[in-house]
Amino acid sequence: MHIILASSSPRRKELMEMLEVPNLKIIPARGEEIPPEHAGPGELVMALSAAKAREVAARCEPEDLVIGADTIVWVDGHAFGKPHTGEEAAAMLRRLSGDTHEVYTGVTLIRNGQAVSEYERSRVRFRPLSEEEIADYILTGEPMDKAGAYGAQGKGALLVESIEGDFFNVMGLPVCRLGQMLKKQGVKIL
Q: Which helix (H) or strand (E) holds 184?
A: helix 175-184
| Residue pLDDT, tens place only, 116-173 | 999 999 999 999 999 999 999 999 999 998 999 999 999 999 999 999 999 999 999 9
Task: For residue 109, tell me if it sits in a domain.
Answer: yes
pLDDT of residue 37: 80
Task: For residue 126, tell me if it sits in a domain.
Answer: yes
Q: How far apart (Å, rounded) are the C-alpha atoms in residues 101 and 113?
A: 35
Task: For residue 132, tell me if it sits in a domain.
Answer: yes
Percent of the chain with pLDDT over 70: 100
Contact 93, 143 (CB under 8 A): yes
pLDDT of residue 17: 94
36 pLDDT tier (thresholds 50, 70, 90): confident
Beta strands of 83-156 (E only): which ranges?
A: 100-111, 114-126
pLDDT of residue 136: 97
- The overall average pLDDT reported for the chain is 95
pLDDT of residue 34: 78
Beta strands of the chain (E only): which ranges?
A: 3-5, 24-26, 65-75, 78-80, 100-111, 114-126, 160-164
CATH number at residue 156: 3.90.950.10
Instruction: Phi first, then psi: give them for residue 177, nearest 5 degrees.
Output: -60, -45
Contact 144, 82 (CB under 8 A): yes
Domain count, the chain: 1
pLDDT of residue 35: 76
31 pLDDT tier (thresholds 50, 70, 90): confident
pLDDT beyond 80 at 97: yes
Helix axes 86-96, 131-139, angle to 10 degrees: 130
Domain region containing 177: 3-184
Contact 119, 72 (CB under 8 A): no
Between the alpha carbon of residue 143 and those of residues 58, 90, 170, 179, the distances in Å are 32, 9, 14, 28
Which among 182, 14, 168 has a CA at the least distance from the CA of 109? 182
Residues taking part in catalysis: 70
Task: For residue 189, tell me if it sits in a domain.
Answer: no
Give the max Cα distance, the chain: 51
pLDDT beyond 80 at 78: yes
18 residue type, one letter:
M
Mean pLDDT of 174-185: 96
Task: For residue 80, tell me if it sits in a domain.
Answer: yes
pLDDT of residue 33: 72
